[in-house]
Each structure stands twice: as structure tokens, then as C-alpha cells.
């Protein structure tokens, strides 16, 4: 059973659903375009959902026919540079918040995810898409290169594939997105919710504090040189090993019983 969380948003639906918090982009008439207002709300909603004690996973999805078509171009005509700096700054804060919250964030994708919508998929920790979904960074076709989307996209798919997306603006299908590493799974549309729930349940079985430690450590080490990454992660793992949940988990394994997590 799901129920709405505390805050009300103009452009989002936010609900608790067991161990998951569900955030739905709710501008279907605008193809869930990421307006300045929506981006600010999404940052707030991520933090609100993360702060709920029962939240183990955050699922991000879109209402209507598509996940998100990217920035709202209708608010980007004839503005001063200060507006654009604010827009892309607020967008960057939101994308970084996805990595900063301790819970894994799963993108549940359908229809299209283009430009900043594709950026949003790439920024999420995990992504599952319906077969038939298309992904693109087509800004080059309208004279606005997808410079901020390329930050997480290039990290997800690698340089050559990212440059293909960015320089041609041509879309790729869900199968290609899976092969390139932009998403984790591509499933028939009718199986999309079930595939997301499988990930939610798999993550929720583990200690919340251990998952949070691992997520933070992953992003802290992933772009470091190998030796620096080891230097960082050996400290993290030593601290983790002393934690109550790690001691409980190792003891339970040796005793051949299920662990009892306490979140510490």
C-alpha cells in the first residue's frame, strides 16, 4: 500500500510504498520537461524521501507517455545569462543529490529519455527501461550542445559511445542502452514494474547502513587512480567491519541463520 509523503509539489507526485519512496515527474502534458521549478522540487523531494526512516530505495519515474524529454525549452527563450546559470546550477545540484542521498535511486524509464532526461537516467544509481524506450542527447540538433548531460552519460557509457550520442543527436533503443551500460535491464513494458520491484526487494534485504556506506564509497573511489581508490576503500571497509550490522551479518553467516539488521 502506498501513501503520499508530507510535502506537496506542483510538478511531482511523491509517495511511500513499503521500503520504496516513489517520486513521479508529473508534467505529462509537457512530456515531463524539467523546468526550473520542477528541478528545485525534485531536489527537495529526494531529500524528503531520503529522510523517511522506512525508505530503503527511491524509485524515480515519469507520468504519461514518456519518462522525460529534458529541459523545458519554452522557458529558455530570450532569457539573460543569469537565468541559464541558475537553471543549470539547480539542475546540477539535483543530479548530485541523487548520489548524495544514502539510498539507491532507481530510474524506471519508459517512452523517451532525452537530453536532461537522459542525464537523469545516467545519474541514477540503477535504471530499468521498458523495451521500445529511446534515449538521446539531441541538443546538437537545436544548437544547444548537451554539455551537462554528457557528464553522467560519458561516465556511464564511455567516451566513444558518449561522443556518438552527443555529436549526432541520434537516439538509441533500450537494447543498445543496456549493451552500452546506460541501463541495467530492458524488459517488456508489462514487466517493467515487476523488474523494478525485484531490485527494490533485493536491496531492502540488506542492512540500510551497509548499503549507504557502500554507495558513498563507490562514488568516492570510482574516478580515483587505483592506488588512491584502495587507500580510501580500505579505511571505509575497516570502519564498516567494526559496525554492528557487519558484526551481526558475519556472526549470522557463521551460525547459519538470518541476520537481524539494526541499521548501525
Taking only the tens place, the pLDDT of each residue in 51-87 is 999 999 999 999 999 999 999 999 999 999 999 999 9
The answer to the question of residue 263 being in a domain is: no
180 shares its domain with 229: no
Indicate the pairing of strand 57-62 with strand 105-109: parallel
Give the C-alpha separation, 60 to 95, whole Å.
12
Give pLDDT, residue 4.
Answer: 61
Give pLDDT, residue 264.
Answer: 76
124 shares its domain with 242: no
41 shares its domain with 53: yes
Confidence of residue 12 (pLDDT cuts 50, 70, 90): very high
Asked if residue 214 has pLDDT above 90, the reply is: yes
Across the range 239-253, mean pLDDT stands at 96
145 shares its domain with 75: yes
The phi and psi torsions of 219 (rounded to 5 degrees) equal -70, -25
Residue 134: which residues within 8 A CB-CB, separation 6 or more?
111, 112, 113, 114, 171, 172, 173, 174
63 shares its domain with 159: yes
Across the range 152-165, mean pLDDT stands at 98
Taking only the tens place, the pLDDT of each residue in 95-104 is 999 999 999 9
Across the range 192-201, mean pLDDT stands at 98
Give pLDDT, residue 208.
Answer: 96
Give pLDDT, residue 263.
Answer: 84
Give pLDDT, residue 6.
Answer: 61
Give the C-alpha separation, 50 to 73, whole Å.
30
19 shares its domain with 82: yes
The answer to the question of residue 16 being in a domain is: yes
Confidence of residue 7 (pLDDT cuts 50, 70, 90): confident
- For residue 262 the three cell numbers come to 539494526
The answer to the question of residue 261 being in a domain is: no
- For residue 146 the three cell numbers come to 548537451
Across the range 236-247, mean pLDDT stands at 96
**Is the distance from CB of 105 to CB of 46 less than 8 angstroms?**
yes
The answer to the question of residue 262 being in a domain is: no
The answer to the question of residue 156 being in a domain is: yes
Give pLDDT, residue 5.
Answer: 65
E strands along the chain, which residues?
2-4, 12-17, 20-25, 57-62, 105-109, 112-114, 126-130, 134-136, 172-173, 185-187
Taking only the tens place, the pLDDT of each residue in 98-156 is 999 999 999 999 999 999 999 999 999 999 999 999 999 999 999 999 999 999 999 99
Give pLDDT, residue 3.
Answer: 52
How many domains would you assign to the chain?
Answer: 2
CA-nearest of 164, 133, 7 to 68 is: 133
Asked if residue 2 has pLDDT above 70, the reply is: no
Domain that holds residue 139: 2-204
Taking only the tens place, the pLDDT of each residue in 32-58 is 999 999 999 999 999 999 999 999 999
What mean pLDDT, rounded, does the chain reach? 96
Asked if residue 241 has pLDDT above 60, the reply is: yes
Print burial letters for 127-150: b (CB count within 10 Å at least 16), e (below 16): bbbbbebbbbbbbeeeeeebebbb
Amino acid at each position: 500500500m502506498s501513501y503520499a509523503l508530507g510535502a506537496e509539489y506542483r510538478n511531482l507526485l511523491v509517495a511511500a510504498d513499503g521500503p520504496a519512496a516513489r517520486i513521479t515527474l508529473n508534467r505529462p502534458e509537457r512530456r515531463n520537461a524539467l523546468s526550473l521549478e520542477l528541478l528545485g522540487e525534485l531536489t527537495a523531494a529526494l531529500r524528503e524521501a531520503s529522510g523517511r526512516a522506512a525508505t530503503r530505495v527511491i524509485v524515480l519515474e515519469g507520468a504519461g507517455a514518456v519518462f522525460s524529454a529534458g529541459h523545458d525549452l519554452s522557458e529558455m527563450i530570450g532569457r539573460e545569462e543569469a537565468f541559464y546559470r541558475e537553471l543549470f546550477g539547480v539542475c546540477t545540484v539535483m543530479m548530485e543529490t541523487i548520489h548524495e542521498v544514502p539510498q539507491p535511486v532507481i530510474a524506471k524509464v519508459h517512452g523517451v529519455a532525452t537530453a536532461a532526461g537522459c542525464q537523469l537516467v545516467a545519474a541514477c544509481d540503477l535504471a530499468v527501461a521498458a523495451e521500445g524506450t529511446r534515449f538521446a542527447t539531441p541538443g546538437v540538433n537545436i544548437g544547444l550542445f548537451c554539455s551537462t548531460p554528457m557528464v553522467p552519460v560519458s561516465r556511464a557509457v564511455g567516451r566513444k559511445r558518449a561522443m556518438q550520442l552527443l555529436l549526432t543527436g541520434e537516439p538509441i533503443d533500450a537494447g543498445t542502452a543496456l549493451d552500452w551500460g546506460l541501463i541495467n535491464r530492458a524488459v517488456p513494458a508489462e514487466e517493467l514494474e515487476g523488474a523494478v520491484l525485484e531490485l527494490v526487494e533485493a536491496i531492502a534485504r540488506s542492512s540500510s547502513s551497509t548499503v549507504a556506506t557502500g554507495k558513498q564509497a563507490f562514488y568516492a573511489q570510482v574516478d580515483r587512480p587505483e592506488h588512491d581508490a584502495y587507500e580510501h576503500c580500505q579505511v571505509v571497509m575497516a570502519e564498516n567491519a567494526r559496525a554492528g550490522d557487519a558484526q551481526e551479518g558475519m556472526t549470522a553467516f557463521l551460525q547459519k541463520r538470518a541476520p537481524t539488521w539494526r541499521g548501525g
